[in-house]
Amino acid sequence: MDFIVAGFIKAIELLISGDISTWTAVWATLKVSTCSMLMSIGAGLPCGFVLGFFEFKGKKHLRTLVDTLLALPTVFVGLAVYAVISRQGPLGELGLLFTLTGIAIGQTILAFPIVTAITASTIENIDYDLKLTLVSLGAGKRHIIATCLWEVRYGILAAAVTAYGRVLTEVGISMMVGGNIKYHTRTVTTAIALETNKGLFADGIALGLVLITIAFIVNLSLSFLRKQ
């Protein structure tokens, strides 16, 4: 028990003293998670809208596939991305292996079904009277789509936050694709895994606290936006 308490105390010291290895991992995590979240929203939002708003053949099967992908194991995504961007892979020449860009690609694949599924559910739950109201007020297709998206903005924000939480806390992709290179591709989660393996609990707890703080700030921002 004592080592946990000592870990907390050292964690605070590490953060306050501006330990460079801790803060480079934090910065790498923020950069790569934000980038993958934005990319997953860019791809997942239109797909989720199409899946939730329109009726088309094969929609149910597509929805089942997207829902299944929610449970995608991070190590499997890591393995698949590794295979594609490694030297022998089809994108090997781009030199993405062991880079933050490589991790971001993997995390985008991980977050894409989350954004798609939550957006689709949010759009499906739009009040039927909203569409009818917009049509009856003279809105064309473009206005209907824009207004519907605006009306469900909190649902879409929730999708973004959920996706952010997932990529922020994953280890498999960062470890396999990033390689956990100190000062370069080491993220908070891979650093926690490494420090714990080395028996350096204080460093691990410090990084854990940072992760929790980031998650807290993201959720706080969401509640602030809702109040606005």
Partner 1 sequence: MTPPHPAYQLRHIQHYYGDKKVLDIQDLTIENGSITGLIGPNGSGKSTLLKILAFALRPTRGQIFYNGRPEVPFSQTIRSKVTLLTQKPYLLKRTVFENIVYGLKIRRDDNDLTNRVKKALLNVGLDYNRFAARKWHELSGGEAQRVAMAARLILKPEILLLDEPITSVDTKSAKLIRQASLNARDNWGTTLVIASHDVQWLGSISDRQLAIFNGTIFATGMENIITGPFEKTGKKTIVKALDDGQRIRLKAPAQELGSAIIRKQNITIGLEQHPDKGLDNQLSGHIVSLMLENKSGHIMATVAIHDLTLITRLSPDQISRFNLYPGKSVMLGFHSTDVEWI
Binding region for partner 1 (CB under 8 A)? 127, 129-130, 132-133, 135-140, 143, 147, 150-151
| Token code pair at residue 61 | 């099967």
Q: How far is Cα 76 from Cα 104, in angstroms, rounded to an integer?
A: 15
Minimum distance from residue 115 beta carbon to partner 1 (Å): 21
- In the bound complex, what is the minimum distance in angstroms from residue 139's beta carbon to partner 1? 5
Q: Which is nearer to partner 1, 88 or 136 (CB)?
A: 136
- Least separation, in Å, of the C-beta of 224 and partner 1? 17
With respect to partner 1, which residue has the nearer C-beta, 50 or 126?
Answer: 126
Burial (Cβ within 10 Å: 0-12, 13-18, ≥19) of residue 24:
middle
Instruction: Choose between 10 and 131: whose C-beta lies nearer to partner 1.
Output: 131
CA distance 153 to 49: 12
CB of 75 to partner 1, least distance (A): 41
Surface-to-core class of residue 86, CB atoms within 10 Å of its CB (0-12 exposed, 13-18 middle, 19+ buried): middle
- Report the run of H or E that residue 77 belongs to, with start and end: helix 74-85
What are the φ and ψ backbone dihedral angles of 86, each rounded to 5 degrees?
Answer: -70, 165
User: Whose Cβ is closer to partner 1: residue 119's or residue 185's?
Assistant: 119
User: To the nearest whole angstrom, how small is the minimum distance from the Cβ of residue 147 to partner 1?
Assistant: 7
Residue 54 CB, nearest distance to partner 1 (Å)? 15
Q: Which two tokens stand for residue 158?
A: 């929730």
Residue 88, exposed/middle/buried by CB under 10 A (0-12, 13-18, 19+)? exposed
By beta-carbon proximity to partner 1, the closer residue of 85 and 160 is 160
Please identify, using beta-carbon distances, which residue of 135 and 220 lies nearer to partner 1.
135
CB 57 within 8 A of CB 101: no
